[in-house]
Structure 1
């Protein structure tokens, strides 16, 4: 049995527990928590995905994250993912969520922010390279580099300002 997630509806209400691979295959909505990391100077963390990962190998991303576990809140999932992927213990701040079209399948994306003042220790299975960039530099990367499509959509929504 694979990773279990909550299948949700168009209002982000739980319908049941399903295998995440099946949810993706069938296009069932589920939840994903993401984290945007900024340093004390306001720069954004950008990373490149490893070449060996099944989804978007070698692509750039400005978010970290993953599926929200069964009975887990977006906020708890964001904190867990931050610890797993960067070895940073912090409580990211919820910014907004939206129904993401998804390049692979649709899902609810909860975006969180955290200021990281300590060194990050990325998990090499998740992050092949990382660096800190200004918002202007990030906007350029989003436009002109191999960038994870869902992260591009989230960046545009983030720049538009808070939404429900």
Structure 2
């Protein structure tokens, strides 16, 4: 059956455990955990997916991540994905969750953030190129046609959340 995920409903409540390929093919909601990495200077890690990647080949992204495994929390999945894709052990901080329409299939996206100060060991199966960018440079790249569309949607939600927390002192909510 391949990779397994929890099929969830409109309220992110578990309905069943299914194959991820089935979830995508039938457009069933499932869970994805992502991590935004910043360095100690506040820059964002941006990467390009390998040309041979199954999903979004050659696409630029500012998030690392993947499917939440059955029984796993968004936070656990984010930490696991960060270790697998970047070789970084950390406990990313949960920022927000929203229902993403998805370019391939709809899903609930849990967005996390962490500061990375040590060396990176990118998995070449997931990351073909990477660099640190300022917020302004990232904001320009987001509109490049090769930027992963789902990552663009998450970027807009992230900006709103950072504004609410930083400027207005509000806590983020789940959309």
**TM-score under structure 2 length normalisation:** 0.92
Give the equivalent residue in structure 2 for 1:87.
87
Can you list the C-alpha shifts for 1:61-89, whole angstroms capped at 9, x where unaligned?
00000000000000000000000000000
SS in 1 for 2:79: helix
- CA distance in structure 2 between the aligned counterparts of 1:27 and 1:8, rounded to whole angstroms: 11
Can you list the C-alpha shifts for 1:110-158, whole angstroms capped at 9, x where unaligned?
0000000001110000000000000100000001341000000000111
- Number of aligned residue pairs: give it: 164
Once superposed, what is the RMSD of the aligned Cα atoms?
A: 0.7
Whether 1:163 aligns to 2:169 is: no
Runs of 4+ off more than 6 Å? none
Whether 1:119 aligns to 2:82 is: no
Pairing 1:71-150 to 2, within 5 Å after superposition: 71-150=71-150
Structure 2 residues without counterparts, runs of 5 or longer: 162-171
Whether 1:18 aligns to 2:28 is: no
- CA distance in structure 2 between the aligned counterparts of 1:156 and 1:150, rounded to whole angstroms: 10
**TM-score under structure 1 length normalisation:** 0.98
SS in 2 for 1:35: strand
Structure 1 residues without counterparts, runs of 5 or longer: none
Shift of 1:54: 1.6
